[in-house]
Structure formats: C-alpha cells, structure tokens
Amino acid sequence: MEDSSHRDNVDRDRLRRPGKLVLRGSFLGTFMEGAFFFAAAGRVDLPRAWLFLAVSLVEMFGSVVILAFVNPAMLNYRGEWKKKKDAKAWDRKLLPVFGVFGMYILPFVMGLDVGRYHWSNLGLWATVLGVVLFSFGWILLTWAMLVNPHFEATVRIQTDRHHRVVTTGPYAVVRHPGYVGASLWALGSPLIVGSAYGLIPAGLTVGLLVLRTYLEDKTLQAELPDYADYAQQVRYRLLPGIW
C-alpha cells in the first residue's frame, strides 16, 4: 500500500502529456499571435510589434514554466480540460470564444491598424503603459494559479479533487484575481503596439471575462460549500470598490 501511494504521489508531481501540451501551446501561442499580426500588417518592420511578441513570450511562456516547476499537477489538470464531463455547458461554449478573440482577432486587428491601414498611432506613453499592464496582469494571473490548486481551465465543481474555497494571496482582495490579470493582459496588448483600434477587440475580450466571472461566481455561490460566506467577506469580484 505504501509503495502504491508513493507511486501515485510521484505521478501527481510529474509533468505528464497534458501538461506538456499546455507548455508547448503557451510557447507556440506567441508565434501564432505573431503570424496573425504580421499577416494582417503586411510588413514586419514594426519594432513595437516585436517588443509585444517578446514580452508576450516571456510573460506567457514564463508563467507556465513556473507552474510546471512548482505545481506540475495543476498543469496536467489544465491540459485535460476537454475530458472534464462535469464542466458547465455554458463555459464549454464561452471558453473557445474567449480564446478566438484574445489570441486571434485581437492581434489581427492590431496588425491591420498599425501595419496596413495606419488608423491610429498612439505615442510611446502607450507602449510603456501597455508593458506595465501586460506584465502586471501576467504576474497577477501567475500568482492566482500558484495560490489556487483548483485553478483549472474550465468552470466546474471539482468534487474529485476535494474542491475548497481559497482565501489567501490575491483572493483576499478580489474573488477572481485570475480574470483581473487576464483583463490587464488583453488591454495592455494593443497599447504596446500603439493601436487604438485594437482596444475594441480587447474590450470585447474583457467583456467575455466579465460575463464568465458573473456566471462562475453565481455557480460557486450556489454549489461550492463555504463560498457564499467567502463572498460576504471578500465583497468584490474583480474591482475593489466597484464590482
């Protein structure tokens, strides 16, 4: 029994195929963003675009690398999101839409704006602000994933994993810090390249995150023990003092 238990623990602490797919996907994600951006832009001589891709690679892939070392089991669970039969039906529809807007439509519009049609050209102040928002967003998102062992890709009550309420770290300030981080990442992206029109799909991406926050919070309050009490203590979902 002890040997079997030891093997189970080792298996949970090891990065398996689903986790490796997440790791690979986060690395290739930046190149996909770049492909959509430069295809729309029709040119590659855009220093701020290369800065955006560099920051994206460091932040996005770096976040997953940290998780792979600290909590590989979490990465494995995130990579198995399609197998979770108890994931909420509305989230199975919402999650792919968010991915399309955030990873494909957003860089495509940014490329059309600053590369092909020159609809806008925000100053260098926007690049500085964008890098700050983007970086802080990924730091916050990474922190939330490290603190919350139930930070899976889909919304479900994880009865198979003894789902419990997390109240430490950023969860002591807002109930959904991961979505705050993702929102900052989306809004920071077009600012880095100086695209005002890119803020339109970025805003729609944030809108999808707000909708998901509302639906997830409603689900947790109804189905996860102690979450309603936690919601009374930490009153705000995303923005302290506002909502």
Is residue 9 over pLDDT 60?
no
Give the pLDDT score at 81. 79
Q: Give residue-wise pLDDT tens across range 146-201.
A: 999 999 889 999 988 889 999 999 999 999 999 999 999 999 999 999 999 999 99
Measured in whole angstroms, how far is the alpha carbon of residue 72 from the centre of its chain?
17
The confidence band for 104, taking pLDDT boundaries of 50, 70 and 90, is very high
Is 84's pLDDT higher than 60?
yes
Please calculate the CA angle 184-190-191 and round it to the nearest 5 degrees: 80
Please, what is the average pLDDT of the chain?
Answer: 91
The separation between CA 63 and the C-alpha centre of its own chain, rounded to angstroms, equals 10
Structural domain boundaries of the chain? 2-233
- The DSSP-derived string for 102-167 is IIIIHHHHHHIIIIII------HHHHHHHHHHHHHHHHHHHHHHHH-TT--SS----GGGT-----
Contact residues for 243 (Cβ-Cβ < 8 A; gap 6+): 236, 237
Q: In this structure, are residues 164 and 220 in contact, taking their beta carbons and an 8 Å threshold?
A: no
Q: Fill in the amino acid letter for 154.
A: T
The Cα 176–Cα 180 span in angstroms is 7
Q: Span 2-233: which CATH code?
A: 1.20.120.1630
Single pTM value for the model: 0.90
Mean pLDDT of 105-121: 97
Residue 102 has pLDDT above 80, yes or no: yes
